[in-house]
Amino acid sequence: MTPLVRSVRSADTLTRDALAVLQPGFTGTTAPDWLLRRLGEGLVSVGLFGRNVADPAQLAALTGRLRAEREELIVAIDEEGGDVTRLEVRGGSSFPGNHALGAVDDTALTRAVAREIGRRLADCGINLNWAPSADVNSNPGNPVIGVRSFGADPQLVARHTAAYVEGLQSAGVAACTKHFPGHGDTAVDSHHDLPRIAADLPTLQERELVPFRAAVAAGTRAVMSAHILLPALDGEHPATLSPAALHGLLRAPATEGGLGFDGLIVTDGMEMQAISATYGIERGSVLALAAGSDAICVGGGLADEDIVLRLRDALVRAVRDGELPEQRLADAAARVRALAGRLRSADVGEGPAPAPGIGLTAARRALRLTAAGPYEPLAGPAYVAAFTPLANIAVGDETPWGVAAELARLLPGTETATCTAEAAAAAGTAALVDGLLTAAAGRRLVAVVRDVHRHPWMAEALRTLLAARPDTAVVEMGVPQAPPQGALHLATHGAARVCAQAAAEALTDRRLSPGDC
């Protein structure tokens, strides 16, 4: 009977370890029964998304219910601030994103903003933030990073990444620095396909890896891998599945050219097409663990019990078939449990004092104004033309952007029109702009764009509009790569709600009241 008992215990341990390395999501604003049951069976982490958030009280009750089932629990969320927000997914963020903070280039401000984000997360019972983005935005055509990056200068990105990590973790929330080894030099979104970065190893060392070294030196608790192919490291596997990238570079000691990172390695979402379309989620998860990943992030798109069971069983089967060393799975599970234990007190005790209004203060400081000549501030209802690109998946299409709502608060009666690439193609640029001019009916015009340098249809429509109405003010809420245009040009360096507030103030020469901050 002894061998049978040992076999049962071994199988139970293996199953618990397989559950421990998963970071799944779920639907709804309350914890489903299946999730609570799996927490009792060994699940150590849960990922939250915008669909799980109604308000801070609801979120605190949700995380409290989860911890009632398992006290040492990692509750993760993607709260970068700026364009990528889950806490304020339906209203827009109270904090500007990385690009705005990089434009200000005050590390004390970045540290303070991150600390306030961490305080709000901790108050809701969240103790791991899939942030900051440490990507160097070296490719202006990047469709997925852009304003999520502090900038294009590796040293600037490095000092602000370190400041963000320090600020966030001073509030008791672990940072998960992403997307290793750097997603900035891509023109492909890994949500849709597998990006390839052709940079050689010296370039990676001098550019992409600089901010990650700074994050490791600052003590980041976790690092998230990117689904990108870097032939200089591995010509076959994307970084998430590459032993050379994870074990041989991220974990390797500095004396061997590595980063010497000893914390938790988390994958980017495994349902992203860069992995799932090539390897499948189950096979990809096995390869990721074997390569050196410790936690498998899934749940942005697949968020039910079935995916948890599929991945659990795939990992167990891989160990039994000899594809995944049992010790590798055990080590990964141990790292997850160790971090959960370390973060156990993240939501108790006295945290940092609130810093009300710091987000709007930062957004105001990030605003860059260029005037073609004397500009008379808006004094009456305006007409806003929002040239709206397709939102990338990381941002989502639920989070509002633009300046119309904030302008309407200062100038009641302000109206807006949304213009898309499809509308421009269907009607033609001239007809689209004629429609805007007719609707504006002589009112002052504000054109709002987002990464106009990446969208030819948007650039053409803006030129046509400015030719007809040169008194139009232009607000760029993406990366301000294109030359300033318009009677007044405002670069907000992001589309967070506070960036819109700062722009509305500049357009009207009015300050919002303290209660609006």
- Residues annotated catalytic, as ranges: 191, 268
Q: Parallel, antiparallel, or unpaired: how do β-strands 22-23 and 128-129 relate? A: unpaired
Q: In sequence order, what are the residues at sequence separation of 6 or more whose Cβ sits closer than 8 angstroms to the Cβ of residue 9?
A: none
* Integer Cα distance of 472 and 450 in angstroms: 16
The residue written with tokens 């280039």 in the block is 105
Q: Quick one: how far is CA 178 from the chain centroid?
A: 9
By three-state DSSP, how is residue 418 classified?
strand
Strand-pair partners of 84: 81
φ and ψ at residue 506, rounded to 5 degrees: -65, -35
Beta-strand pair 488-491/368-371: antiparallel
> Which residues neighbour 236 within 8 Å (Cβ) at sequence distance 6 or greater?
none
Give the span between the Cα atoms of 28 and 54, in whole angstroms. Answer: 10
Please state at what angle helix 305-320 crosses helix 2-20, rounded to 10 degrees.
130
The rounded distance, in Å, linking the Cα atoms of 486 and 382 is: 15
Q: Which one-letter DSSP state was computed for residue 488?
A: E
